[in-house]
Amino acid sequence: MTKQLPWGTAVVVGGSYAGLVTARVLADFFDEVVVLERDPVDGDTGSHPGAPQGYHAHAMLAKGGEVLEKLFPGLREELHEAGAPVFDYGERIDFLLPAGTAPRTRTGVRIQTFTRDELERRLRRRVLALPKVRMVAGVSCTGLVRDAQGRVGGVTYRESGEGRGGGEPDLARGRTTELAADLVVDASGRTSALTGWLGELGVTVPAQRTVKAKVTYTSMNFDRPEEGHPDYFVAYQMLFAPRVARAGVLLAVEGGRWTCSLFGFQEQPPTDDAGYLEFAHALDNPHLAEQIARRTAQEPTYRYTNVDNRWRPFHLVKDWPDRLVAVGDAVCVFNPVYGQGLTVAAMEAELLHGMLARQRAAGRPLDGIARDFQRRVGRLLLAPWTLSTNSDLMWDPRQRAVAARFAHWYNARLFRVAVRDASVWARFVRVVNMTASPAVLFHPAVAAKVLTAGPGRGPGGR
């Protein structure tokens, strides 16, 4: 029988969504998991100041929901009891494509809609209840520690002196502590300092890839009717370069509320009530304005502009140090209009779980797993990155790669077919929800329909 090696301490830098999901995975393999979190959060905290995007509409794609349910059994029902609906993607979404309204038909793809705030609160409570997990809040990670073998052997962090107390932590006046670890995970998000820390160790990271989206989101939550509920849980009008520059999404979420996010390319949807409603009225999907107009209670309105696609190519680092991995937005940030971020982070956690399980079963130490993990993450990211950036690049199609122009041309024709052909729409739904490869959209039976598609109805046509 293979001896099971005892793995001691894992440190997770960042206690937001990606950090919480990763900590849950690590608790299956390590004696202790320490989560270092900058904000003074606790089990009652949902989205926190370190994640300003948390106020806006978030999509948990079907694949992400499946992974979370495996890691957190009963989470879907727990959220459902709080009022987060579960439904078939094709039956309860009023989806306005650039070529018209998508078929309202069963696809077999089940999703659930909720706020990022509620999801994080539920996950944080569950993770902090695990006996092996300990969170240290109100601290800032300041660097990596390397051991005599050249591996990452821990981190340094600075305490604020505030801990879990109120107010913003004063990180500048705290003392610095060194924390030894058998594995370090950077889940600190889009503001990650990992590239700099690696530089201090003599490790060079290739230049970050950036594709600017130039899209602004303005969002609010407001009351959803208890009686006379419409026949949809989501109403959506998608952005599509270069013709559809205004869009929005309306999600039914927990607590009897709607979350509405309005999008504008090179335009900022207003934050005042009258301007917000006027912008929604300008959309071709009327359901967003209908529900905004009938609201009787609302929460504050937030604007978010930091939506560029950014990929730190850690998978290309040849001398990546052992016992260090990076996940979530610390690696790759997507334009949130495509709803990929939460699901990709869950898939990365699932990947890490599988690799650790095989390493443990074989009786092997942790050495060698880190670089392999980052390479696999690179392969995992390729499809969602291509989907997101190909669309964003086409706001200015001049001098764009032939592949990006072809993908955009193909998608435009695909949408013309999808509004008339439920089977093609169902394939698109599976791809968007990351339960099927994009290759299914290029199957000969689909490609023949796409290549012979007639003219569409134009942007926003219903």
Beta-carbon count within 10 A of 403 CB = 10
pLDDT score, position 395: 87
pLDDT score, position 356: 98
- CB contact at 8 A, 322 and 367: yes
Average pLDDT taken over every residue of the chain: 92
pLDDT score, position 18: 97
Q: How far apart are the C-alpha atoms of 366 and 370, rounded to whole Å?
A: 8
Per-residue buried b or exposed e for 80-117, using 16+ beta carbons within 10 Å of the residue's own CB: eeeebbebbbbbbbbbbbbbbbbbbeebebebbbbbbb
pLDDT score, position 97: 97
pLDDT score, position 172: 52
pLDDT score, position 400: 78
Residue ranges of the chain with per-residue pLDDT less than 50? 1-2, 162-167, 169, 171, 459
CA distances 143 to 36, 194, 196, 308, 371, Å, are: 12, 8, 9, 26, 19
- From the list 150, 140, 120, 115, the residue with the least C-alpha distance to 38 is 140
Per-residue buried b or exposed e for 331-340, using 16+ beta carbons within 10 Å of the residue's own CB: bbbbbbbbbb
- Longest CA span, the chain: 70
CA distances 190 to 18, 152, 312, 334, 461, Å, are: 11, 21, 10, 10, 36
Nearest-5° angle of CA 262, CA 267, CA 271?
50
